[in-house]
Protein backbone atom coordinates (compact mmCIF):
# COMPACT_ATOMS: atom_id res chain seq x y z
CA UNK A 1 0.00 0.00 0.00
CA UNK A 2 0.96 3.60 -0.61
CA UNK A 3 -0.40 5.76 2.21
CA UNK A 4 -0.46 9.52 1.79
CA UNK A 5 -1.57 12.71 3.52
CA UNK A 6 -3.05 15.56 1.51
CA UNK A 7 -4.34 19.07 2.04
CA UNK A 8 -3.19 22.36 3.50
CA UNK A 9 -0.32 22.36 5.97
CA UNK A 10 -1.58 21.44 9.42
CA UNK A 11 -4.91 20.27 8.01
CA UNK A 12 -3.83 17.17 6.10
CA UNK A 13 -6.24 14.31 5.57
CA UNK A 14 -5.43 10.59 5.18
CA UNK A 15 -5.40 8.91 1.81
CA UNK A 16 -4.27 5.89 -0.15
CA UNK A 17 -2.90 5.67 -3.69
CA UNK A 18 -4.68 3.42 -6.17
CA UNK A 19 -3.23 1.43 -9.07
CA UNK A 20 -3.51 4.47 -11.34
CA UNK A 21 -1.50 6.64 -8.93
CA UNK A 22 -4.65 8.55 -7.99
CA UNK A 23 -5.25 9.49 -4.37
CA UNK A 24 -8.34 8.08 -2.67
CA UNK A 25 -9.57 9.57 0.58
CA UNK A 26 -9.48 7.53 3.79
CA UNK A 27 -11.54 10.08 5.71
CA UNK A 28 -14.00 8.34 7.98
CA UNK A 29 -11.90 5.16 7.92
CA UNK A 30 -8.83 6.42 9.80
CA UNK A 31 -8.21 9.74 11.50
CA UNK A 32 -4.72 10.21 10.07
CA UNK A 33 -1.61 8.35 8.90
CA UNK A 34 0.19 8.16 12.23
CA UNK A 35 1.49 5.72 14.80
CA UNK A 36 -2.03 4.66 15.75
CA UNK A 37 -2.69 3.41 12.23
CA UNK A 38 0.67 1.81 11.44
CA UNK A 39 0.43 -1.34 13.53
CA UNK A 40 -0.01 -4.71 11.85
CA UNK A 41 -3.70 -5.05 12.74
CA UNK A 42 -4.76 -1.71 11.29
CA UNK A 43 -2.61 -2.06 8.19
CA UNK A 44 -4.15 -5.49 7.59
CA UNK A 45 -7.63 -3.92 7.79
CA UNK A 46 -6.68 -1.25 5.26
CA UNK A 47 -5.44 -3.93 2.87
CA UNK A 48 -8.92 -5.45 2.77
CA UNK A 49 -10.48 -2.23 1.44
CA UNK A 50 -11.79 -2.02 -2.09
CA UNK A 51 -9.86 1.14 -2.93
CA UNK A 52 -11.88 1.76 -6.10
CA UNK A 53 -14.95 2.54 -3.98
CA UNK A 54 -13.21 5.33 -2.05
CA UNK A 55 -13.67 9.00 -3.06
CA UNK A 56 -11.13 10.38 -5.52
CA UNK A 57 -9.09 13.36 -4.35
CA UNK A 58 -8.82 16.17 -6.93
CA UNK A 59 -5.58 16.21 -8.90
CA UNK A 60 -3.06 18.86 -7.90
CA UNK A 61 -3.82 18.81 -4.19
CA UNK A 62 -0.86 19.54 -1.91
CA UNK A 63 0.85 16.42 -0.57
CA UNK A 64 1.81 16.65 3.09
CA UNK A 65 4.40 14.72 5.09
CA UNK A 66 3.50 11.05 4.77
CA UNK A 67 3.46 10.50 8.57
CA UNK A 68 1.76 12.65 11.21
CA UNK A 69 2.68 13.20 14.86
CA UNK A 70 6.25 11.94 14.48
CA UNK A 71 7.74 11.46 17.93
CA UNK A 72 11.38 10.96 16.94
CA UNK A 73 13.22 11.83 13.73
CA UNK A 74 16.50 9.92 13.88
CA UNK A 75 19.21 9.87 11.21
CA UNK A 76 22.23 7.71 10.46
CA UNK A 77 25.33 9.45 9.11
CA UNK A 78 28.08 8.12 6.85
CA UNK A 79 26.08 4.96 6.18
CA UNK A 80 27.04 4.51 2.53
CA UNK A 81 30.55 3.30 1.81
CA UNK A 82 30.87 5.45 -1.32
CA UNK A 83 29.54 8.57 0.44
CA UNK A 84 31.99 8.15 3.33
CA UNK A 85 34.78 7.92 0.76
CA UNK A 86 33.76 11.16 -0.97
CA UNK A 87 33.54 12.88 2.43
CA UNK A 88 37.07 11.75 3.27
CA UNK A 89 35.82 10.07 6.43
CA UNK A 90 36.38 6.55 7.70
CA UNK A 91 33.47 4.15 7.86
CA UNK A 92 32.11 4.15 11.41
CA UNK A 93 32.45 0.97 13.44
CA UNK A 94 28.91 1.54 14.71
CA UNK A 95 26.07 3.63 13.26
CA UNK A 96 26.65 7.40 13.49
CA UNK A 97 23.43 8.63 15.11
CA UNK A 98 22.02 12.15 15.14
CA UNK A 99 18.53 13.67 15.21
CA UNK A 100 16.58 16.12 13.13
CA UNK A 101 14.03 18.29 14.90
CA UNK A 102 10.50 17.12 14.18
CA UNK A 103 9.72 20.77 13.37
CA UNK A 104 11.91 20.29 10.27
CA UNK A 105 9.35 17.92 8.76
CA UNK A 106 7.47 19.21 5.73
CA UNK A 107 5.73 17.94 2.63
CA UNK A 108 7.72 16.40 -0.24
CA UNK A 109 7.10 19.33 -2.59
CA UNK A 110 7.06 22.19 -0.09
CA UNK A 111 9.55 25.02 -0.43
CA UNK A 112 12.86 24.69 1.41
CA UNK A 113 13.66 27.80 3.44
CA UNK A 114 17.28 28.92 3.39
CA UNK A 115 18.12 29.78 7.02
CA UNK A 116 19.47 33.14 8.06
CA UNK A 117 23.29 33.21 7.88
CA UNK A 118 23.35 30.04 5.77
CA UNK A 119 26.35 29.74 3.45
CA UNK A 120 26.67 26.00 2.78
CA UNK A 121 23.21 24.50 2.29
CA UNK A 122 23.32 20.95 0.94
CA UNK A 123 21.12 18.06 -0.16
CA UNK A 124 20.95 14.32 0.65
CA UNK A 125 18.49 11.85 -0.85
CA UNK A 126 17.79 9.21 1.79
CA UNK A 127 15.76 6.08 2.37
CA UNK A 128 13.69 6.56 5.53
CA UNK A 129 11.86 3.86 7.45
CA UNK A 130 8.85 4.31 9.69
CA UNK A 131 8.29 2.29 12.86
CA UNK A 132 5.00 0.40 13.06
CA UNK A 133 5.20 -1.12 16.54
CA UNK A 134 7.27 -0.41 19.61
CA UNK A 135 10.82 -1.74 19.47
CA UNK A 136 12.88 -2.14 22.61
CA UNK A 137 15.93 -4.41 22.72
CA UNK A 138 14.84 -6.23 19.58
CA UNK A 139 17.18 -8.49 17.65
CA UNK A 140 18.06 -7.86 14.02
CA UNK A 141 15.88 -10.85 13.10
CA UNK A 142 12.92 -9.36 14.97
CA UNK A 143 13.46 -5.81 13.74
CA UNK A 144 11.95 -6.16 10.26
CA UNK A 145 8.51 -6.84 11.76
CA UNK A 146 8.70 -3.48 13.55
CA UNK A 147 9.03 -1.52 10.30
CA UNK A 148 5.69 -0.38 8.88
CA UNK A 149 7.14 0.97 5.65
CA UNK A 150 9.54 3.26 3.84
CA UNK A 151 9.58 6.71 2.27
CA UNK A 152 11.82 9.24 0.54
CA UNK A 153 13.57 11.80 2.73
CA UNK A 154 15.69 14.78 1.71
CA UNK A 155 18.09 15.23 4.63
CA UNK A 156 18.67 18.91 3.87
CA UNK A 157 21.79 20.10 5.69
CA UNK A 158 23.60 23.34 6.41
CA UNK A 159 27.24 22.30 6.44
CA UNK A 160 28.67 25.39 8.12
CA UNK A 161 26.19 24.96 10.98
CA UNK A 162 26.85 21.21 11.06
CA UNK A 163 30.63 21.08 10.83
CA UNK A 164 31.98 24.51 11.76
CA UNK A 165 29.87 25.47 14.78
CA UNK A 166 31.00 22.87 17.32
CA UNK A 167 30.62 19.11 17.41
CA UNK A 168 26.84 18.65 17.31
CA UNK A 169 25.57 17.82 13.82
CA UNK A 170 21.97 18.55 14.88
CA UNK A 171 22.46 22.31 14.45
CA UNK A 172 22.91 21.87 10.71
CA UNK A 173 20.16 19.30 10.29
CA UNK A 174 17.06 20.51 12.11
CA UNK A 175 16.25 23.87 10.52
CA UNK A 176 12.65 24.45 9.49
CA UNK A 177 11.74 22.60 6.23
CA UNK A 178 14.97 20.53 6.35
CA UNK A 179 13.01 17.25 6.53
CA UNK A 180 10.72 16.66 3.54
CA UNK A 181 9.24 13.15 3.78
CA UNK A 182 7.00 11.43 1.26
CA UNK A 183 5.16 11.59 -1.06
CA UNK A 184 4.01 8.19 0.16
CA UNK A 185 4.59 5.82 3.01
CA UNK A 186 4.97 2.53 1.14
CA UNK A 187 4.32 -0.51 3.32
CA UNK A 188 7.14 -3.00 3.75
CA UNK A 189 5.40 -5.78 1.82
CA UNK A 190 5.19 -3.58 -1.27
CA UNK A 191 8.80 -2.40 -1.06
CA UNK A 192 10.35 -5.86 -0.85
CA UNK A 193 14.12 -5.67 -0.33
CA UNK A 194 14.94 -2.14 0.92
CA UNK A 195 18.65 -2.72 0.29
CA UNK A 196 18.25 -2.88 -3.50
CA UNK A 197 16.64 0.42 -4.47
CA UNK A 198 17.95 2.98 -6.96
CA UNK A 199 18.23 6.54 -5.60
CA UNK A 200 18.83 9.85 -7.37
CA UNK A 201 18.87 13.62 -6.88
CA UNK A 202 19.14 16.55 -9.28
CA UNK A 203 19.66 20.28 -8.74
CA UNK A 204 18.45 22.55 -11.54
CA UNK A 205 18.27 19.55 -13.84
CA UNK A 206 21.83 18.35 -13.19
CA UNK A 207 22.10 14.91 -11.63
CA UNK A 208 24.44 14.88 -8.64
CA UNK A 209 23.36 11.72 -6.82
CA UNK A 210 22.85 8.48 -8.73
CA UNK A 211 23.24 5.70 -6.21
CA UNK A 212 21.64 2.67 -4.65
CA UNK A 213 20.76 1.42 -1.21
CA UNK A 214 22.98 -1.56 -2.08
CA UNK A 215 26.02 0.38 -0.80
CA UNK A 216 24.40 0.94 2.60
CA UNK A 217 26.74 -0.20 5.38
CA UNK A 218 24.24 -0.78 8.18
CA UNK A 219 20.96 -2.18 6.84
CA UNK A 220 17.48 -1.08 8.03
CA UNK A 221 16.83 -4.10 10.27
CA UNK A 222 20.23 -3.73 11.92
CA UNK A 223 19.64 0.00 12.45
CA UNK A 224 16.30 -0.63 14.18
CA UNK A 225 17.84 -3.30 16.38
CA UNK A 226 20.85 -1.11 17.18
CA UNK A 227 18.81 1.97 18.10
CA UNK A 228 16.45 -0.13 20.23
CA UNK A 229 19.37 -0.93 22.53
CA UNK A 230 19.56 2.75 23.51
CA UNK A 231 15.95 3.96 23.31
CA UNK A 232 12.53 2.52 22.68
CA UNK A 233 11.24 3.22 19.18
CA UNK A 234 7.59 4.16 18.97
CA UNK A 235 5.02 3.75 16.18
CA UNK A 236 5.34 6.68 13.81
CA UNK A 237 9.03 7.34 14.55
CA UNK A 238 11.00 8.10 11.38
CA UNK A 239 14.57 6.87 10.85
CA UNK A 240 16.50 8.18 7.84
CA UNK A 241 19.27 5.78 6.91
CA UNK A 242 21.95 7.81 5.11
CA UNK A 243 22.80 9.01 1.63
CA UNK A 244 24.77 7.75 -1.37
CA UNK A 245 27.56 9.88 -2.90
CA UNK A 246 27.03 13.08 -4.82
CA UNK A 247 26.22 15.62 -2.09
CA UNK A 248 27.26 19.23 -2.63
CA UNK A 249 30.00 19.00 -0.01
CA UNK A 250 31.62 16.20 -2.01
CA UNK A 251 31.88 18.14 -5.28
CA UNK A 252 35.22 19.56 -6.34
CA UNK A 253 34.86 22.43 -5.68
CA UNK A 254 31.85 22.08 -3.35
CA UNK A 255 28.46 23.18 -4.67
CA UNK A 256 25.80 24.55 -2.34
CA UNK A 257 22.14 25.50 -2.68
CA UNK A 258 20.97 29.05 -3.29
CA UNK A 259 17.60 30.77 -3.37
CA UNK A 260 15.74 29.80 -6.54
CA UNK A 261 17.40 26.41 -6.95
CA UNK A 262 15.14 23.48 -7.81
CA UNK A 263 15.80 20.11 -6.17
CA UNK A 264 14.31 16.92 -7.62
CA UNK A 265 14.88 13.51 -6.03
CA UNK A 266 13.42 10.05 -5.83
CA UNK A 267 13.83 6.44 -4.81
CA UNK A 268 12.69 3.40 -6.76
CA UNK A 269 9.19 2.27 -5.64
CA UNK A 270 8.88 5.20 -3.21
CA UNK A 271 8.08 8.16 -5.46
CA UNK A 272 9.66 11.56 -6.07
CA UNK A 273 9.99 14.97 -4.46
CA UNK A 274 10.51 18.47 -5.90
CA UNK A 275 11.47 21.52 -3.85
CA UNK A 276 12.39 25.15 -4.52
CA UNK A 277 14.82 26.96 -2.21
CA UNK A 278 13.32 30.24 -0.92
CA UNK A 279 14.60 33.10 1.21
CA UNK A 280 13.91 33.26 4.94
CA UNK A 281 11.47 36.18 5.27
CA UNK A 282 10.52 36.49 8.94
CA atoms within 13 A on the CB side of 97: 15
Q: Using a cut of 0.85, tell me whether the model's pTM lies above it.
A: yes
The whole-number pLDDT of residue 169 equals: 78
Q: What is the average pLDDT score of the chain? A: 95
Q: What is the pLDDT of residues 98-146, one digit of tens each?
A: 999 999 999 999 999 999 999 999 999 999 999 999 999 999 999 999 9
Question: Which strand (E) or helix (H) includes residue 141?
Answer: helix 140-143
Question: Which stretch of 27-41, 139-153, 158-172, 184-198 has the lowest confidence by average pLDDT?
Answer: 158-172
Return the DSSP state at 63: B
- Other Cβ atoms less than 10 A from the Cβ of 30: the count is 18
The whole-number pLDDT of residue 83 equals: 73
User: How many residues appear in the chain?
Assistant: 282
Q: In the predicted model, is pLDDT for residue 74 greater than 80?
A: yes
Number of H helices, E strands in the chain: 6, 18
Q: In the structure, what pLDDT confidence band is assigned to residue 174 with cuts at 50, 70 and 90? A: very high
Region of 262 (left: φ > 0; alpha: ψ -120 to 50; beta: rest) is beta
- Cβ–Cβ < 8 Å for 152, 128: yes
The whole-number pLDDT of residue 127 equals: 98
Q: In the structure, what pLDDT confidence band is assigned to residue 148 with cuts at 50, 70 and 90? A: very high
Q: What is the pLDDT of residues 212-265, one digit of tens each?
A: 999 999 999 999 999 999 999 999 999 999 999 999 999 999 999 999 999 999
The whole-number pLDDT of residue 12 equals: 98
Q: In the predicted model, is pLDDT for residue 82 greater than 80?
A: no
- Cβ–Cβ < 8 Å for 72, 170: no
The whole-number pLDDT of residue 141 equals: 97
Q: In the structure, what pLDDT confidence band is assigned to residue 170 with cuts at 50, 70 and 90? A: confident
Q: In the predicted model, is pLDDT for residue 78 greater than 90?
A: no
The whole-number pLDDT of residue 81 equals: 81
The whole-number pLDDT of residue 86 equals: 74
Q: In the predicted model, is pLDDT for residue 7 greater than 90?
A: yes
Q: In the predicted model, is pLDDT for residue 51 greater than 80?
A: yes
Ordered by start, the domain boundaries in the chain are: 67-279
What's the CATH number for 67-279?
Answer: 3.90.850.10
Q: In the predicted model, is pLDDT for residue 195 greater than 80?
A: yes
Q: From CA 235, how far away is CA 47, in angstroms rounded?
A: 19
Amino acid sequence: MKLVRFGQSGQEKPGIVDDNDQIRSLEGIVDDIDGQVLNEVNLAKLKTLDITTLPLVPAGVRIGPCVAKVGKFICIGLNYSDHAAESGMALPAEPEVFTKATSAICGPDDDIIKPKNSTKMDWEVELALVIGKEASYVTEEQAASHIAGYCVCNDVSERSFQLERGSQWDKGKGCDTFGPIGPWLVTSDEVGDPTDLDMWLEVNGKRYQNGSSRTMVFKPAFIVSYLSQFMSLQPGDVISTGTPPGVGLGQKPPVYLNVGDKISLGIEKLGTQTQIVVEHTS
